[in-house]
Amino acid sequence: MTTIHTNDQLTRRNFLKLGLGALSSLAVLEISGASLLFMQPRSLNGEFGGVVAAGAVDSFPLSSVTEFPDGRFYLIRDDNGGFLAVYTRCTHLGCTVNWEAEQNHFFCPCHASVFDIHGDVENPPAPRALDTFPIEIADGQVWVDTTSVQQRDKYEAEQLALA
């Protein structure tokens, strides 16, 4: 009777090949899973590109500016009680503007454009007023629709949403 010798020993080289293959497969699976999650549409309820529930009308004092970073807008409550939602993007090159309460204006750090409390240009190079978003006031709540940006040349009182 003859015996057949098989060389089924796990050598160091085979062990490293097997380990490297397993780790490579795991890495491909993780990258694939992350890519699929990245490509899935997000729920935009309450974020930029959706309708944002800003809050109760009474929670915004007169002459106030409230930032909504997820919605990418500032909600302005005029001294007459009207609301205006201005986009945080500068109309010059799209940098993010900041509200400077001490100076009572919006400031673009990229090229030093300055906008008043209603978003009108006070200091160029911005060519026009900050863009706005439509506002709806229903049942004492302020709703801002960030799905449609409204361009404007300057502030006019008719742009305010009255409570």
Structure confidence by residue, pLDDT tens digits, 122-153 = 989 999 999 999 999 999 999 999 988 999 99
Enumerate domains of the chain plus CATH numbers: 51-159 (2.102.10.10)
Q: Which two tokens stand for residue 50?
A: 């959706």
Global pTM value: 0.69
Q: Please state, in angstroms and rounded to a whole number, the distance separating the CA atoms of residues 152 and 139.
A: 28
Q: How much of the chain, in percent, has pLDDT values that exceed 70?
A: 90
**Rounded-to-integer distance, Cα 158 and Cα 153, Å:** 13
Q: Answer with the residue of higher pLDDT: 39 or 18.
A: 18
* Cα 105–chain centre separation: 21
CA distances from residue 33 to 21, 37, 119 in whole angstroms, order as listed? 18, 6, 43
What value does the mean pLDDT take over residues 1-16? 71
| Residue that the structure tokens 């026009």 belong to | 128
